[in-house]
A = this chain, B = another copy of it.
Amino acid sequence: MTTVSNRPAPAPLSQLVYRFGDGSAEGQGDMRELLGGKGAGLAEMSDLGIPVPPGFTITTEVCNEFYRLGRRYPEGLETQVRDGIAYVEQLVGTRFGDPENPLLVSVRSGARVSMPGMMDTILNLGLNDTTVEGLARRSGSVRFAYDSYRRFIQMYGDVVLGVSRRSETDGDPFEELLTAKKRAHSAALDTGLDGDALRELVREYKALVRERTGADFPSDPWDQLWGAIGAVFTSWENPRAVVYRDMHGYPADWGTAVNVQAMVFGNLGDDCATGVLFTRHPSTGERRLFGEFLNNAQGEDVVAGTRTPQPILERSRKPDDLPSLEGAMPVVFLELERACDTLEQHFRDMQDIEFTIQQSKLWILQTRSGKRSGQAMVKIAVDMVDEGLVEQTDALMRIDAAQLEELLHPVFETSGKRDVIATGLAASPGAAVGRVVFTPADAVDWAKRGENVILVRDETSPEDIEGMKEARAILTARGGMTSHAAVVARGMGKCCVTGCSALEVDYARRRFTVASGDGEPIIVSEGDVLSIDGTRGEVIRGELPLAEAVFPPEYDRLMTWVDAHRRMKVRANADTPEDAERARDFGAEGIGLCRTEHMFFGPDRILAVREMILSQSEEERRKALAKILPMQREDFTGILQAMAGFPVTIRLLDPPLHEFLPQTIEDVAELARALGMRVADVERRLESLREFNPMLGHRGVRLAITYPEIYEVQVQAIIEAACDLADMGIDVEPEIMIPLVGMALELERLRDLVERTVERVFEARGRRLSYTVGTMIELPRACVVADRIAEHADFFSFGTNDLTQTTFGLSRDDAGRFLPTYLRERVMEHDPFVRLDRDGVGELVRIGIERGRRTKPQLKVGICGEHGGDPSSVMFCDELGFDYVSCSPYRVPIARVAAAQATLAERR
């Protein structure tokens, strides 16, 4: 535990207390060290002329002095605090301890930064048996007054007087009394207790304090105040606060300030009110106040929804509505409007404001940047630039790149009530409603009949692609953020929830069960309707109303600015001409990853691929490859054409061959017929291809070292396609990428094979064209020997999915069993498959780039893992000097924004 004993005595302090309120303040927004974060913020607001409830801040220097003096207050503090209270009394028009019109205050701690373990807040200080009656009369509610009083005693009793549970197994003594009281009045909720019951409870609370502390609860407001101030200072050395400081390296002599502020009430009569508003419309971004208030009410009433709220603006008022604030209190409304304008101008952002009107006087309780929809975010950003409120670059920096996702996918309307039966990983954003099916074949059949379907699987495999295409959403019990289902769904822009481990899928009975809280499991059968929220990872029973995705008209202008400011290029991962076109629409400047294996699953192709895999000689393999060649050429023609004018990085075959193998006995039989083999022999050969850890198995460049003819045919198909297009005058830029390289010699050999194959095609076609050869960097070894690999590479493309798997030794498909625990227990801050792990994986990437460019300073470097679409990771890529990022088409706009923000951040 840190101690604070040996501090040198500072010069005698003079100003110990800084007042604020009534549109001015003794302190300023930049005095965080002296006034703490909260105190400085209150001073800043006051300085702006905003009517914040008045109060004063006791400085952090007093805290240090308090400890230096052995927990005593420095001379002069008492006077300055008394003067502070007098100042507040004067501004609010009430008096501390006045039986008729009492001033109540809140007392809060406030260090430079918010710090757990310290005393937080005591409200309603100043209440006693006399003042409570005044409050009751003023508010017209005995219940309200005594509820405030019992809450004050409970909070003060716990925090200041130390009346709390005696042991871990004990209950909280105040809560126990409250529960007993509710039981006695047969009240389920606190609100079931009336004024008399609460008056009794207050008596019991006070008796408890007397019994535990041997003294009466302090009834003098001044005693209450000094007790609270002392508790704040003392809490600075609470064990939890000390541990937190040590963890973050905050010195003990920062100290904490104490903020004493008037309580204001919106329920003291018809000239009172309370409300919340946004300075612009949070859904559309329209520039007008948007919010609601309640006459003669307190904040809780607005939240509770028991009374119908009233609109702020007259023009927002519908025929049956109660009066608007503008109509009912026009003077206060004007004052509020002015305050909103001031705050927006000052903070240069849309504000979310809480206010209270007490006896026709407006008080602003809180302001903060307002949460908004993706659409509103875009409109507000562009509008504010047009209004001259912010610079273009500031507007860009404020965009939450990830939130752009909302523009691209449908979402559920917020009004719908959600019966969430299970939660999984938010694998691909968006929302969808449909009937449950359990097989890809059913998905296809049902979709043909016009049904919207949700495909539910333990996990998906490449064979399921057709069914996935037809489904509105995909839900899996296993797999992580980069599992097959997640990657494919994101690529399709389709809503998906993975790793929903509560699901027990029973294919035989075509249903799944979810354990529910009350023991009876929930059963969802084929044909039942579910709503899937891929943005939140929720599985919801029944049908929720959907809101379609719309681009606001300001989007295009925003993206023009974005593109003008970014250094890094943005490409897309796309495997088909359709994906490529969509990616272009989203602004992609090329394809960073075209996976050739995804082309192999068409029903017309898979048989040839299987023949190739089961071949036992080069000759057999070449025969099967000859069937594949024209198909691949057609694929590449389509995709190169769709991306004409931009580079297209084509990754040669990567995954373990057995991914392509038949799973059902029918498929095995068909394959046996095609190969002229016995079923048993085919099965034995299939068994011999089984791998323990396919992720670390016979894949990528290893396939080509053992069977060079596979890559040879793929390269031939690419270059023939490119020649065909070039002959037609279409501009093509093929980039041939070798996956899973770990050794320089692998790339050297394969580059040689590629070049020889290309030369053969050039000779046959009588023409040449430019192309490049590069490699994925997706193994830790590739990073550390990148200098040697770079000798044979025109470009590096970091495959951060696989690199994350190998660096952590963590299979993305199996992580579902423990990653949630890691995140919950904060062993990890983020899922490393979603946000690039800077310290580990990022360090290897840094080493890889540094060494690669040591050999080739101009080496082109990109990223094609799923991280290419994550804003934080994109920023990191910019720091490391990447030339481009590549992500799924739907994430291209996000990556463009993140790339621009990275450039801007660097420039600052």
Interface residues of A (CB under 8 A from B): 504, 684, 688, 691-698, 702, 705-706, 740, 742-743, 745-746, 749, 778-781, 784-785, 788, 802, 805-811, 813-814, 817-818, 821-822, 825-828, 837, 839-841, 843-844, 847
Contacts of A743 in B (CB 8 A): 827-828, 840
* Contacting pair A778 B809 (CB below 8 A): yes
- A825 contacts which of B695, B705, B809, B811 (Cβ < 8 Å)? B705
A447 CB → nearest B CB, Å:
28
By a CB distance below 8 angstroms, the chain B residues around A808 are: 742, 779, 781
A740–B702 Cα distance when bound, in Å, is 27
Cα of A808 to Cα of B807 in the assembled complex, Å? 10
Assembly CA distance A805 to B742 (angstroms): 12
- A785 and B504 contacting across the interface, CB-CB below 8 Å: no
Residue pair B827, A705 in contact (C-beta under 8 Å): yes
26 contacts between A and B (CB under 8 A): A504-B688, A691-B813, A691-B814, A691-B817, A693-B693, A693-B696, A693-B811, A693-B814, A694-B814, A695-B809, A695-B811, A697-B814, A698-B817, A705-B825, A706-B817, A706-B818, A742-B807, A745-B827, A749-B825, A779-B807, A779-B809, A780-B780, A780-B807, A780-B809, A784-B839, A785-B843
Partner of A827, one of B695, B746, B809, B827: B746
Q: Is the CB of B698 within 8 A of A827?
A: no
B residues in contact with A781, CB < 8 Å:
807-809, 837, 840-841
Query: Within the assembled complex, what's the spacing in Å between the Cα atoms of A697 and B837?
Result: 18
| Distance of A779 Cα from B810 Cα, bound (Å) | 10
A697 to B694, CA, bound (A): 13
- The minimal Cβ–Cβ distance linking A345 to chain B, given in whole angstroms, is 44
Contacts of A742 in B (CB 8 A): 807-810, 840
Contact B827 A749 (CB under 8 A): yes
Distance in angstroms from A797 CB to nearest chain B CB is: 16
Q: How far is the CA of A684 from the CA of B507 in the complex (A)?
A: 12
Pairwise interchain contact A814-B844, C-beta atoms closer than 8 A = no
Q: Which of B688, B693, B818 contacts A702 (CB 8 A)?
A: B818
Closest residue to A685 on the B side, CB-wise?
B504
Contact between chains at B843 and A784 (CB < 8 Å): yes
Residue of B whose beta carbon sits closest to that of A783: B780
Contacts of A813 in B (CB 8 A): 691-693
Chain B residues within 8 Å of A694, by CB: 692-693, 814
Please indicate the chain B residues that have their CB under 8 angstroms from the CB of A814 in the complex.
691-694, 696-698
Task: Identify which of A696, A788, A807, A843 gathers the most chain B CB atoms within 10 Å of its CB.
Answer: A696
Q: B696–A695 contact, CB under 8 A?
A: yes
Greatest chain B CB density within 10 A among A810, A825, A828 is at A810
> A740–B779 contact, CB under 8 A?
no
State whether A821 and B705 are in contact (beta carbons under 8 Å apart), knowing that A746-B827, A814-B691 are contacts in the complex: yes
Are B693 and A784 touching (Cβ within 8 A)? no
Known: A504-B684, A818-B706. A805 touches B696 (CB 8 A): yes
Closest Cβ of chain B to A382, distance in Å, is 42
Give A745 Cβ to nearest chain B Cβ, in Å: 5
Q: Taking CB as reference atom, which chain B residue is nearest A687?
A: B458
Q: Besides the contacts A693-B696, A742-B840, A743-B840, what 15 more A-B pairs have beta carbons closer than 8 Å?
A: A504-B684, A692-B694, A692-B814, A693-B694, A693-B814, A696-B809, A705-B827, A706-B817, A742-B808, A742-B810, A743-B828, A779-B808, A780-B780, A781-B809, A785-B840
- Set of chain B residues within 8 Å of A778, measured between Cβ atoms: 809
Q: Which residues of the other chain, B, contact A805 by a CB distance below 8 angstroms? A: 696
A234 to B778, CA, bound (A): 46
> Among A684, A740, A802, A809, which residue has the most Cβ atoms of chain B within 10 A?
A809
A811 near B779: Cβ-Cβ < 8 Å: no
- Determine if A839 and B785 form an interchain contact, defined as CB atoms under 8 angstroms apart: yes
Residues of chain B with a CB closer than 8 A to A693's CB: 693-696, 811, 813-814
Within the complex, the shortest CB–CB distance from A472 to chain B, in Å, comes to 27
Residue of B nearest to A814 (CB): B697
Residues on the B chain within 8 Å of A837, using CB: 781
Which residues of chain B come closer than 8 Å to A806, judged between CB atoms? 780, 806-807, 809
The chain B residue sitting closest to A506, CB to CB, is B684
A844 touches B697 (CB 8 A): no
In the complex, chain B residues whose CB is within 8 Å of the CB of A705: 818, 821-822, 825, 827
* Option from B688, B740, B749, B844 in Cβ contact (under 8 Å) with A809: B740
Cα distance A840–B789 when bound, in Å?
12
Q: Which chain B residues border A698 with CB–CB below 8 Å?
A: 814, 817-818
CA distance A695 to B788 in the complex (A): 29
Q: Given the complex of chains A and B, what is the CA–CA distance between A805 and B822 in angstroms?
A: 23
Q: How far is the CA of A807 from the CA of B782 in the complex (A)?
A: 8
Cα(A228)–Cα(B186), bound, Å: 117
Q: Please give, as numbers and ranges, the residues of chain B lying within 8 Å of A841 by CB-CB distance.
A: 781
A784 touching B844 by the CB < 8 A rule? yes
Chain B: which residue is nearest A781 at the CB level?
B840
How far, in Å, is A246 (CB) from chain B's closest CB?
Answer: 13
Task: Tell me the complex Cα distance, A784–B840, Å.
Answer: 6
> How far is the CB of A445 from the nearest CB of chain B, in Å?
27
Within the complex, the shortest CB–CB distance from A674 to chain B, in Å, comes to: 22
- A811 touching B691 in the complex, CB below 8 Å, given contacts A698-B817, A818-B705, A827-B705: yes
Among B696, B784, B844, contact of A696 (Cβ-Cβ < 8 Å): B696
CB closest residue in chain B, given A702: B818
CA distance A821 to B691 in the complex (A): 17
Q: How far is the CA of A828 from the CA of B701 in the complex (A)?
A: 14
Distance (whole angstroms) from the CB of A240 to the closest CB of chain B: 16
Q: Bound state CA distance, A671 and B813, in angstroms?
A: 28
